[in-house]
Amino acid sequence: HAGVGMAGHPGLSQHLQDGAGGTEGEDILQQIMTITDQSLDEAQASNYMAEE
**Residue 43 domain-assigned (yes or no):** yes
- pLDDT confidence of residue 1: 45
**Residue 28 domain-assigned (yes or no):** yes
**Residue 6 domain-assigned (yes or no):** no
**Residue 19 domain-assigned (yes or no):** yes
pLDDT category at 52 given cuts 50, 70, 90 is confident
**Residue 2 domain-assigned (yes or no):** no
In 3D, which of 9, 37, 13 has the Cα closest to residue 25? Answer: 13
**Residue 23 domain-assigned (yes or no):** yes
**Residue 39 domain-assigned (yes or no):** yes
Asked if residues 22 and 14 have their Cβ atoms less than 8 Å apart, the reply is: no
**Residue 16 domain-assigned (yes or no):** yes
* Letter string b/e over residues 36-52, b meaning 16 or more CB atoms within 10 A of that residue's CB: eeeeeeeeeeeeeeeee
Amino acid in the structure at residue 15: H
Q: Give the range of the structural domain holding residue 30, as residue numbers without chain letter.
A: 11-51
| Tally of domains in the chain | 1
pLDDT category at 48 given cuts 50, 70, 90 is confident
- pLDDT confidence of residue 35: 92
Read off the pLDDT of residues 15-46 as tens digits, 9 standing for 90 and up: 555 555 557 778 898 999 999 998 989 988 88
Q: What angle do CA 50, 51, 52 make, to 5 degrees?
A: 95
